[in-house]
């Protein structure tokens, strides 16, 4: 089964939308293999967003992601990477389809409620940033 990393970002976490978002994943049949609440620090942000370091928006991104707690998840399921990204919707909530996470819960294109890995390679890399093998449960 394919796995992906999901982050419920500070805006959605702080607004109390975690439960609603988790229900959307479970309704799609995804298995939650790992979950934790944490406050991202600059070191974690640099690891996670390594490809964005040096870009004009990087400092604002790190400031936002380190501003409050987040929820990190590992989800598993058939074609989970593509399907979770579809459930999340377009990065800009104005362009997101009705019923998607971002249409329902995102504040803007930069405060966009959730992150999901975009490829199997990035999923494997990102999952290791947030979880040890002992924290990921598979039956």
Residue 139 has pLDDT above 80, yes or no: no
Report how far apart, in Å, the C-alpha atoms of 30 and of each of 3, 21, 67, 69 are: 10, 12, 29, 23
Bridge partner residues of 71 (DSSP): 8, 37
At 113, the pLDDT band (50, 70, 90 cuts) reads very high
Residue 38 has pLDDT above 90, yes or no: yes
- Mean pLDDT along residues 62-77: 98
Is 115 one of the catalytic residues?
yes
**Contact between 28 and 11 (Cβ < 8 Å):** no
The domain containing residue 16 runs over which residues?
2-135
- Mean pLDDT along residues 20-41: 98
**Contact between 127 and 20 (Cβ < 8 Å):** no
- Mean pLDDT along residues 49-75: 97
- Mean pLDDT along residues 6-16: 98
E strands, the chain, are 2-8, 31-38, 70-77, 114-116
Number of domain units in the chain: 1
Per-residue pLDDT at 61: 96
The CATH code of the domain that includes 127 is: 3.30.70.141
Which residue in 17, 48, 88, 115 is the catalytic one? 115
Per-residue pLDDT at 46: 97
Per-residue pLDDT at 74: 98
Determine whether 28 is exposed, middle or buried from the number of CB atoms within 10 Å of its CB (0-12, 13-18, 19+): middle
Angstrom distance (rounded) from CA 73 to CA 114: 11
- Mean pLDDT along residues 125-132: 98
């Amino acid at each position: 089964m394919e796995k992906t990393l999901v982050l419920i970002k500070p805006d959605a976490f702080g607004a109390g939308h975690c439960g609603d978002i988790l229900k959307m994943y479970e309704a799609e049949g995804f298995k939650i293999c790992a979950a934790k609440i944490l406050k991202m620090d600059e070191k974690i942000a640099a690891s996670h967003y390594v490809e964005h370091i040096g870009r004009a928006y990087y400092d604002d991104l790190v400031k936002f992601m380190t501003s409050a707690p987040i929820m990190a998840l590992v989800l598993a399921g058939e074609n989970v990477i593509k399907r979770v990204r579809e459930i999340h919707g377009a990065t800009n909530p104005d362009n997101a389809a009705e019923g998607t996470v971002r249409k329902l819960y995102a504040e803007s294109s930069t405060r966009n409620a959730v992150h999901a890995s975009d490829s199997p390679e990035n999923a494997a890399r990102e999952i290791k940033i947030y979880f040890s093998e002992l924290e990921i449960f598979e039956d």
